[in-house]
Amino acid sequence: MTESVFQETASRPRTQAVPLSHLSLELGHLYMEDFEAGPGHLRRHFERVRPWAEAARATAVAAAGGKRPRISTCFLIDDYFTRFSAPAEVVPMLLEEANRAGLVVDYLARESGCAVAGEVPVAEAVAGRIVEEPPPGSYGLRPPAAQTGWLANGERSPVARAPQAMKPATAWQPPKETTARRHSVFLDVELRDDGPDGHRTWSCPLLAVVWQLARLGLLRNEGEAVPVPQPHTGHAFPEDWDELPPLLRLNPRADPFAAYRTCSVMSNRFLPVEHAVRVILEQIEVDPGALAQAAERSARENATVPDSVADRISYVFYAEQ
């Protein structure tokens, strides 16, 4: 017997549309130690980024068929795992070194805003949209990610069990990647950890997933877009990170923050994290209204966008030495 559910159209949350660029170009994602190393370290970072950023722009121009593509740049500062210095000291130094390298940062984001944006617990909401892909032949013996805080891209090795009477011990078996091409590249990703005081800390890969979804314009909270870029109206930056908006628009003439595709230029030390990002993204149920809006608008502009959200993101990894 099938039950019918009737709902007034007015009671359904409206999916807010967001302006979209063709490309969101990330010029860096640095930790506390990178800023503590001083302006010279930042200078070397942007000098490495510049040629690859120019290549990403050229690729976007070619994909646009000669038309001017909309491209916005962004930079993510990690103020989540460790609080350091102050925006009044860090942000001017960052912008000065970017400008010295001939780069313009349109949008500045705080990583803590990928955990909670304003009053919206975005990391928790995104984690709640994980739909695990059961490995072929599995029987639901593995606890769900919501319970364990771990997400894999395949079948883990079975837990060794002591032999029972008249039964042999469980033999070791290797883990298996669900979509392996002949050989597996198995990955088990930690999504969070809970401290003894009950405080939950979201992992870097999970926060990076939130960051990618935000840059793709696919994050919604009860139909409303999050985060919303806030304009930088003054010359000075605050002394406290909490006084800085989660997402700040530095360039008033910038193209839209969100885009059909993203490209991130970063050190190769982030490669393991970004592998984990893809594993998580491939098991996320993205807001269908936001997906439909991006698909409709990209088709109208003849801008090809992959069906897979994970395939909309790209990277350039540079070697630090």
The per-residue pLDDT for range 56-81, each reduced to its tens digit, is: 999 999 988 778 999 999 999 999 99
Longest CA pairwise span in the chain (Å):
77
**Residue 133, pLDDT above cutoff 90:** no
Rg of the chain taking only CA atoms, in angstroms: 22
**Residue 209, pLDDT above cutoff 90:** yes
Residue 315 confidence class, pLDDT cut points 50, 70, 90: very high
Of 208, 205, 306, give the one whose Cα is nearest residue 261: 306
d(CA 271, CA 277): 10
Q: Are 257 and 48 in contact (CB under 8 A)?
A: no
User: SS3 for 83-138, per residue?
Assistant: CCCCHHHHHHHHHHHHHHCCCCCCEEEEHHHHCCECCECHHHHHHCCECCCCCCCC
Residue 310 confidence class, pLDDT cut points 50, 70, 90: very high
Host H or E run for residue 249: strand 247-249
Averaged pLDDT of the chain: 90
Rounded to the nearest 10°, the torsion over CA 240, 263, 261, 54 is 110
User: To the nearest whole percent, how much of the chain has pLDDT over 90?
Assistant: 72
Host H or E run for residue 58: helix 39-63
**Residue 12, pLDDT above cutoff 80:** no
Taking the CB of residue 281, how many other CB atoms lie within 10 A of it? 22
Residue 51 confidence class, pLDDT cut points 50, 70, 90: very high
Look at residue 131 in the predicted model and tell me its pLDDT: 92
| Locus of tokens 């039964």 | 167
CA atoms within 13 A on the CB side of 101: 25
d(CA 189, CA 173): 20
Which SS3 state, helix, strand or coil, does residue 291 take? helix
Q: What is the DSSP string of 176-238?
A: EETT-BSB----EEE-EEE-TTS-EEE-HHHHHHHHHHHHTT--EETTEESSPPEE--SSS--
Distance from the first to the final alpha carbon of the chain: 65
Q: pTM (2 decimals)?
A: 0.91
The predicted-structure confidence for 240-274, as pLDDT tens digits, reads as follows 999 999 999 999 999 999 999 999 999 999 999 99
**Residue 130, pLDDT above cutoff 90:** yes
Residue 4 confidence class, pLDDT cut points 50, 70, 90: very low
d(CA 38, CA 89): 11
Q: Are 244 and 113 in contact (CB under 8 A)?
A: no
Which SS3 state, helix, strand or coil, does residue 52 take? helix
**Residue 237, pLDDT above cutoff 90:** yes
d(CA 311, CA 297): 18
User: How far from the centroid of its chain's Cα atoms is residue 83's Cα?
Assistant: 20
The amino acid that residue 64 corresponds to is A
Of 19, 17, 21, give the one whose Cα is nearest residue 305: 21
Residue 7 confidence class, pLDDT cut points 50, 70, 90: very low
What average pLDDT does range 131-137 have in this prediction?
74
| Locus of tokens 């970017």 | 98
The predicted-structure confidence for 175-197, as pLDDT tens digits, reads as follows 889 888 899 999 999 999 998 88
CA atoms within 13 A on the CB side of 266: 23
Give φ, ψ of 163 to 5 degrees: -65, 140
